[in-house]
Chain A
Amino acid sequence: MPSFDVINYGLRPSKSIQRQLVFNGIHSLQALMKLDMPLYVGLGSVSFTDFSLAHRLLQIRDMVSIESKKIGYRRAKFNSPYATIKVLYGVTEKVLPELLDCSEAINRPWILWLDYDCEFCEDVRDDIRLIIERVPENSIVLFTFNGNEMRYGRKPAQRPERLQTLFEDVVPDSLSANACKKGKIEVNLANFAINFMKATAANMSRPGGFVPAFNILYSDSASMITVGGVLPNNSLVDTVNDFLQSCAWECCPSEPIIAPNLTVKEALALQSLLPNGAGISKNDVRNLGFDLEEEHVRVYEKYYREYPTYAQVLI
């Protein structure tokens, strides 16, 4: 791969597009469900990018960030951009149950996004199970994990057993090694994670169940997977389902988001041609004075509104 495709890692355009899609989706669900004073729960790290969007776009006041490393915790507290963010120290499996026991937290819906760096493992599964079983009604939950095939076994033949261990009953016995190769395993991982959430809600007869709403594969350098959905109360199930069936819902793209690394100048030049019903051709790009792969043109065209065109400074 040419180096200009991998540099600019810090900007991570695919991640940025994914984040923007997710927040647009949450924003519309928030309005649809008329969520009252939701609590935002996430893994803010030291940059708090999603927390800033939660506060500015979703108007969420109270937020909780979980930090498992001692130095990371101190840095997170220092970098916290708003007074209403509570940084809690500890691993998610310890902090989440405590939070779920806190009356202040469980009397309102949650918007939770656990954006893990690691693969879907036993700890992630147990967090998801806990959240699906106990999070308050009308919450929106999302989980991001690494979809790199090597994280699930070095050889494809080892992966079906690993996935069966991780996702339990929802994985068909007929899952083949071929379905666990790069390019296929990511889709299966996303589907198994969603089915695991559906099954967890159904197994405990959670009123309203789990309604899948987010299924996004994206890659800047690592293959990442974001899945999630809504845990509506009974009266909102049909409303949420109908809304998600509408063609306006963009949080389950059929293709992985693999955005090109464009310079600001390139991105702005392309943007000046959009929106454009006929689409941008390679010739259009050449006429601008540079060139791009066809697939990169298509991705940009689709996500130009979410493509990061400026460096954000958090203040």
Chain B
Amino acid sequence: MNNQKLDSANASPTKEFFVNMITKDISLEDSILDLIDNSIDAAKHSSGSQPMTLGSQIDLSQYTISIKLSSNSFIIVDNCGGMTLDNAIKHAFSFGRKPGIEPEQYGIGVYGIGMKRAAFKLGRDITVRSTYVEGNRIRQSFKVPIDVEEWLKSKIQSWDFDIVEAEDMEENGVEIQVRNLTSAAKNALANPAFVQNLRRMLARDYSLYLNKGLNLIVNGERISGLHLEFAGSEEFVPMRISYNGLQNGDEIFVEMIGGMAAPPPDSTEPDEKQNSDKRFGWYIACNGRIVLAADKTEVSGWGTTNWPQWHRQYAGFMGIVLFSAYNTAALPLTTTKRSVDLTSDVYKTAQVKMRDLTKEWINYTNERKQALDAAKEKEARAKAIPIQQVENRESIALPKLPAVKPVERPANVQYSVPVKRMKRLAGELGNINLPYREVGLRSFEYTYEDLVGEE
């Protein structure tokens, strides 16, 4: 054998692959977030490309990203500065970032795939319009109309999209209009639950930007950023550390905060309220964008070596890790920005510290079971502290609880009644939202006092 070449195997990608296949790997919500990421990168660029750390003084209040959703169209408009014609010709519409082209400094768009994938996911009739100011201070505009079906049918091998003249937008920025929606998009954008859940997702995943003044509007309603807060007192003090990590030679600034966000539940039994512990767990942010939220899975480390699986007993814990990097490619991001790259060195290093912090909380919740009254008294004294105001501290502080043996043998009671009757009784006891357990205890105390009286 002399390795003589016989022929070559065709490895060229197809248009169909980009339109119909890679769109399967991302949710509709994350596609929309990809478009918002581009607008935020433009806003950050316009305001000087500063890192998005907790101490960042960046002011984004002059920037607005507005989204309109309906069963017929998806429109996103921003006033974040616009995309230049040169950028559109050379980079923005290519599939994947070209070698030698650096991503936005401290940005969140990194793979050069987000806008196209998002638009293909949403519909078949796409128009991207931009108004921007060139170096000569003259406003210029162009648009890129994309008829996806025609583009797919086109026999010409070229993958290029035509760029044509366009009227100026009101402010410098980018507008993306998608019509002829895919059936999935048509169904979702008309679904009130989808729209409300999208609002919740935006409030959470862009909370750091929204709390820096960014205006994000969905169907005319402004999104308020979720305020991530810890509960602190003399005895409950969250941990806050920061350090510089390295990923393939790129420096990454890492900030980690963790502690009690709310008292743990009194009972570890599942309760009737769905998702009552949904805000607890680990949050990971990359250049300010939350990519993993309230995680209780192996992605953050739960259930991996030396780290127990999530249990309702641990509810009340919240931890946040923020990775900030000049070179976005160094961040532990996946292409969908809905998880982290578990092979990332800088993430692996952080996970060790995350685990140690989590274990401190797990130990506390174990001790708490033996001294519930003392623990609840101490927890009730804790006050809310916004994450920005948490002070630097190498480790979490939690109270030491004395183990108290129960003086009397308890009787556990379990019974079933119709929900409608339970809710009526809760209402009569003063609050229709009382947990069933609390209704049971209060009605026992009420009956006991009435029938048995003082002991």
Interface, chain A (partner B; CB < 8 A)? 118, 121-123, 152-155, 158, 161-162, 165, 168-174, 195, 198-199, 202-203, 205, 209
Q: Are B196 and A158 in contact (CB under 8 A)?
A: no
Measured in the bound complex, the distance between the Cα atoms of B432 and A154 in whole Å is 8
With A158-B431, A199-B192 given, can you name 10 additional A-B contacts, CB distance below 8 Å? A121-B423, A122-B423, A154-B427, A158-B433, A165-B433, A170-B192, A170-B193, A195-B193, A202-B193, A209-B187
**Which residues does chain B contribute within 8 Å of A209, judged by CB atoms?**
187, 190
Whether the Cβ atoms of B427 and A202 lie closer than 8 Å is no
| Residue in B190, B200, B431 whose CB lies within 8 Å of A202 | B190
The minimal Cβ–Cβ distance linking A128 to chain B, given in whole angstroms, is 14
8 Å CB contact of B433 from A121, A123, A162? A162
The reply to whether B427 and A153 form a contact with Cβ atoms under 8 Å apart is: yes
Asked whether, in the complex, the Cβ of B192 is within 8 Å of the Cβ of A195, the reply is yes
User: Does B270 touch A at the CB level, under 8 Å?
Assistant: no
* Per-residue contact bits, chain B 161-199, to A (CB 8 Å; 1 contact, 0 not): 000000000000000000000000001101111101101
Assess the B431–A173 pair: CB atoms within 8 A. Answer: no
CB distance from B219 to the nearest CB of A (A): 11
- On whether the beta carbons of B190 and A123 are closer than 8 Å, the reply is no
User: Shortest beta-carbon distance, B175 to chain A, in Å?
Assistant: 26
Are B432 and A202 within 8 A (Cβ)? no
A123–B423 Cα distance when bound, in Å, is: 12
A116 to B187, CA, bound (A): 30
CB distance from B208 to the nearest CB of A (A): 18
Instruction: Decide: B193 and A199 in contact? CB cutoff 8 A.
Output: yes
Q: State the Cβ distance, A114 to closest chain B Cβ, in Å.
A: 15
User: A203, B427: Cβ atoms under 8 Å?
Assistant: no
* 5 A-B pairs closest in CB distance: A202-B191, A199-B193, A195-B192, A169-B193, A153-B432
Is B200 within 8 A of A198, CB to CB?
Answer: no
Task: Enumerate chain B residues within 8 angstroms of A198, measured Cβ to Cβ.
Answer: 190-192
CB–CB A202/B187 < 8 A:
yes
User: Nearest B residue to A157 by beta-carbon distance?
Assistant: B431
Residues of chain A within 8 A of B420, CB atoms compared: 118, 121-123
- What residues of A have a CB within 8 angstroms of the CB of B196 in the complex? 169-173
Taking a contact as CB atoms under 8 Å apart, the answer to whether B200 and A173 are in contact is yes
- State the CA gap A300–B188 with chains docked (Å): 42
Q: Which of B196-210 contact A (CB under 8 A)?
A: 196-197, 199-200, 203
* Interface contact A203-B193, CB-CB below 8 Å: yes
Which one of B193, B194, B420, B430 has the highest number of Cβ atoms from chain A below 10 Å of its Cβ? B193
CB distance from B196 to the nearest CB of A (A): 5
Report the separation of the CA atoms of residues A162 and B427 in the bound assembly, to the nearest whole angstrom.
Answer: 11
Q: Which residues of B contact A171 (CB under 8 A)?
A: 196
- Say how far A231's CB is from chain B's closest CB, in angstroms: 14
B273 at the binding interface (Cβ < 8 Å):
yes
Asked, given contacts A122-B420, A202-B193, A202-B194, whether A158 binds B432 with beta carbons under 8 Å apart, the answer is yes
A-B contact pairs, 18 of them (CB 8 A): A122-B419, A122-B420, A123-B419, A153-B427, A153-B431, A153-B433, A154-B427, A155-B431, A158-B432, A158-B433, A162-B433, A172-B199, A173-B196, A173-B199, A195-B192, A202-B188, A202-B194, A203-B191
